[in-house]
Chain A
Amino acid sequence: MSSAKFLIRLAALLGLTFLVGCGVSTVTIEGSFPTPNISKLPLNVAVYYDQSLRDFAYMEYSETGAQEFNVQSGQSHIALFNAVLPAMFDGVVVIDSLDDAVAAEVDAVFTPLIEEFQLALPTKTKLDVYEVWIKYNMRLATAEGDYIADWVLTSYGKTPTETFRSTEAAINDAAVVALRDLASSFSLSFAQVPEVRDWLAQL
């Protein structure tokens, strides 16, 4: 009887081990983002992080359709914008609702959104690099909610395969490169966006 119980337990354990091995692996993107060395614009800006950005996660599926990697990057995007925006503008406040913008007495409200996220793994591409590609929609409006600009930005990051590095660590590294790419292109191109440039000229 005890031997039968032992066998059942062993089978259950083996089954669980098998299931865990087949489960989805969660990768929470973590990295440090330097403050950009750029000239500040004389603006007070409010930033609104939509819930979809805060909770943003991307699911990568295997070739058989099974969930493989759950890449959570919402909080790292917020950390990135919190590092970049104060270097770009004289004043930056984070607001919890778009309705708070008027009370914050800001010149504009900035709302970043992620539209698309793509992950390319060496097992699928047959290249020796992990790649991350992200498409953003950047929105700028007045404190009253009037349209100023709405533009698309893409960012790209890659990292080479290494012998003693896990897939999760490589995905994280590629995503951090993509986030740095976003920070560099956003901070350097902001004032060149045609609608933003026209609006800045009016101020």
Chain B
Amino acid sequence: MFEFINQSHVRSVRGVLLAALAVLAGCTSTTVDEFRQGETGIASDEAVVILGRRQASDYETRSEFVQCVGDRMARGEGAINVVPEQEFVDAMFPWFEPRTAPLRTRDLEQLMAENVVAEKMSEFGIRYIVWLDGFTETTDRQGSISCTIGPGGGGCFGFGTWEDDANFDARVWDVGSLTNVGTINTDATGQSYLPALVVPIPLIARVEANACSRLATQLKDFVNGS
């Protein structure tokens, strides 16, 4: 009888805990700021290339994030032709490497004076270059989980939590006018939880995925001029 009550009690506590954590795991907040400096618009035969900034010494914009934003911009309503980052950088080699990539629109102007660069740019039909710069940081790690294994089986017990903060800037350069036409900043934060009652159950806040989705949507609207 006592064993039954105990097991039933554990089950309901586990259920409540899981439900509460599942709700909490959804708590990712994303803020998008747009600063427009010029008119935009794109024709159907024009394309956008999204490039990650890799000049910082202690971090670099992950190519997976760049690809995520590109993929999302290339589908759905108002889809835009997006040239894959690696294909563009390889075709433009050595002009868009971390050491040689233009940091300002003035540098792009100089770069476009090179015939080989201008020709390749026109071949791809590039209208806008989007520079992504940022990273996801994990902070406030708390809690601990211990796992044991023995002849009768194994299990984990404990609780861990941490906060993720994804902050990315997107600068949009118009290759036609050689100007910076706007900047979009995305900041997404979220708390992840890892409770372990025999089995660890990760409840991960999809911070970077949310940042990617919101940034891509905003960029698509921005480039389309809507």
Q: Which A residues form the contact surface with B (CB < 8 A)?
A: 34-39, 127-129, 156, 158-160, 177, 180-181, 183-185, 187-188
Docked-complex contact B59 and A181, CB < 8 angstroms: no
Give Cα A37–Cα B97 distance, bound, in whole angstroms.
12
Interface members, chain B 39-55 (any A CB < 8 Å): 54
Docked-complex contact B99 and A181, CB < 8 angstroms: yes
Known: A35-B93, A37-B93. A185 touches B59 (CB 8 A): no
Can you list 18 contacts pairing A with B, beta carbon distance less than 8 Å?
A34-B91, A36-B93, A37-B91, A37-B92, A37-B95, A37-B116, A37-B120, A38-B116, A128-B59, A156-B99, A160-B59, A160-B62, A180-B97, A183-B93, A184-B93, A184-B97, A184-B99, A185-B99
Main secondary structure, interface of A, reads mixed
| B31 at interface, CB cutoff 8 A | no
Docked-complex contact A36 and B94, CB < 8 angstroms: yes
| B100 at interface, CB cutoff 8 A | yes
Docked-complex contact A181 and B97, CB < 8 angstroms: yes
What chain A residues lie within 8 Å of B99 (beta carbons)?
156, 181, 184-185
Give Cα A34–Cα B91 distance, bound, in whole angstroms.
7
Residue from the set B62, B97, B116 with the largest chain A CB neighbour count within 10 Å: B97
Docked-complex contact B100 and A129, CB < 8 angstroms: no
Q: 1/0 per position for B79-94, CB-CB distance to A under 8 A?
A: 0000000000011111
Shortest CB distance B162–A (Å): 14
| B140 at interface, CB cutoff 8 A | no
What chain B residues lie within 8 Å of A39 (beta carbons)?
115-116
Question: Total A-B pairs in contact (CB under 8 Å)?
Answer: 52
| B109 at interface, CB cutoff 8 A | no
Docked-complex contact B60 and A184, CB < 8 angstroms: no
Docked-complex contact B116 and A160, CB < 8 angstroms: no
| B contact residues, range | 10 to 19
13 extra interchain contacts, Cβ-Cβ under 8 A, other than A184-B97, A185-B94, A187-B94? Answer: A36-B93, A37-B91, A37-B94, A39-B115, A128-B58, A128-B59, A129-B60, A158-B54, A160-B59, A180-B93, A181-B99, A184-B100, A185-B99
CB closest chain-A residue, reference B94 = A184
CB closest chain-B residue, reference A32 = B90
Q: Which B residues form the contact surface with A (CB < 8 A)?
A: 54, 58-60, 62, 90-95, 97-100, 115-117, 120
Shortest CB distance A114–B (Å): 19
Known: A39-B116, A181-B98. A34 touches B90 (CB 8 A): yes
What chain B residues lie within 8 Å of A185 (beta carbons)?
94, 99-100
What chain B residues lie within 8 Å of A38 (beta carbons)?
94, 116
What chain A residues lie within 8 Å of B62 (beta carbons)?
160
CB closest chain-A residue, reference B95 = A37
Docked-complex contact B58 and A127, CB < 8 angstroms: yes
CB closest chain-B residue, reference A84 = B94
Shortest CB distance B203–A (Å): 18
Give Cα A129–Cα B98 distance, bound, in whole angstroms.
15
CB closest chain-A residue, reference B119 = A37
6 residue pairs, one from A and one from B, having the closest CB atoms? A184-B94, A34-B93, A184-B97, A34-B90, A37-B116, A36-B94
Shortest CB distance A22–B (Å): 25
Docked-complex contact A160 and B60, CB < 8 angstroms: yes
What chain A residues lie within 8 Å of B91 (beta carbons)?
34, 37
Give Cα A127–Cα B57 distance, bound, in whole angstroms.
10
Shortest CB distance B206–A (Å): 15
Q: Which residue of the partner chain, among A127, A128, A159, A188, contacts B100 with CB atoms under 8 Å?
A: A188
What chain B residues lie within 8 Å of A129 (beta carbons)?
58-60
Give Cα A156–Cα B55 distance, bound, in whole angstroms.
11
What chain A residues lie within 8 Å of B95 (beta carbons)?
37, 184
